[in-house]
Amino acid sequence: MAEYLLSHGYDRVVLAPSNNPAYKQCDNRFDTRCEMLKIAIRGREDMQICDLERDRPDDNYSYITIPLYKERIGEFDFVIGGDSLIDLGKWKNPYQIISQVKLVVFDRGDRQAEVDEASKFWREKGADVVVERFVPKDISSTIVRLESRLGLVRNVPIEVAEYIEKNKLYVDKSIRMEQKLTAKLADKLKELTGERTYKHCLRVAYCALKLNSDLKLGLDTDKILAAGLLHDCAKRVRHVDDPSIPTDSENTPVYHQFAGSVVARKEFGIKDDEVLEAIKYHTTAKPNMTDLDKLIFCADMLEEDRDFEGVDELRDIISHDLHQGFVACMEHQYAYLVNRGGDIYPTTVLAVEYYRDQKR
């Protein structure tokens, strides 16, 4: 995006790392991220870094920091993503923000209609908004960090990759699976599922690992990683010839979970029954699930890219208790299926009845 702006009329781009951002979780490696930026733009006079937020408290709302940035670097246009424009009404004091700066918005390509609607809305409110139709390569910092944990440092400049590898920035020492194995697994999964599903699988693995850590569940991280990565490994597989797959699941939205357990075993060499079981029921749920089963089921629903009504409430519930979060997720899914109409897979009905009986 910076390169694009510099080739379309701007003479300088200021990169401003966030420290304790108000609306998202941050890894709090501010100095490390600044160092990686320095490496990435070394020798560039048309790009600079502003570390204004280094020593700031937690109130890094844009309406507060924009005037501070102006004091430091002068007048500027504020560059944001299309998703940020869509959600601008949820920001703290958005009307104050639009009175302070011109917004330069990069449409990410998949939400163009929503971006256009949001830009029209804010222009009517007095905002100066310019939407750039340039769609940058789809790169997520979360995906970069996750792949780094698997021994795959890519989608960053070579010098930055070397810095990440040398300093072992995102290596999780609790993950004992050999790096070569996980890297090979990740590449094979990407080839089998396609880019979009692959990234979803990475986010699910990350969500599950984080919940395990935050809730102090003490589950085996290798098993979490394997189940999270491979839960959708059969998403694009139409048929797997195996007697363990229920015949009534064929041509249904839940077929991939049963087929996935088989593909994980045959194609990826997964032999652990707990991992295979977590994959096998990550969509329908089932009675008497293990903590690993519940974790993968919930991570699939709550990974950071999910954006359905009620997702934040579910994330809040599970942040305190895995079982309560699982039951809430299961009930939410069941209510959605009932409202949608049509058949509901029998295992889902059995699971709902089982946990309702257990609650009573």
pLDDT at 256: 96
For the segment 173-178, the average pLDDT, to the nearest whole number, is: 53
Q: Domain extents for the chain?
A: 2-132, 189-359
Predicted confidence band of residue 155 (pLDDT cuts 50, 70, 90): confident
Encode pLDDT of 84-108 as tens digits. 999 999 999 999 999 999 999 998 7
The residues with which 48 forms a beta bridge, in sequence order, are: 14
Burial of 17 (0-12, 13-18, 19+ CB in 10 A): buried
CA dihedral sign, ordered 292, 296, 297, 298: positive
pLDDT 10s digits, 105-123: 998 777 889 999 999 999 9
Please, what sign has the CA dihedral across residues 137, 140, 144, 150? negative
Core vs surface per residue 332-341: b (16+ CB within 10 A) or e: bbbeebeeee
Tell me which H or E stretch contains 48.
strand 47-49
Domain 189-359 bears CATH identifier 1.10.3210.10:
yes
pLDDT of residue 230: 94
CATH number of 2-132: 3.40.50.620
Adjacent-strand bridge partners of 131: 105
Average pLDDT of span 290-304: 96
Question: For residue 181, what pLDDT band results from cuts at 50, 70 and 90?
Answer: low
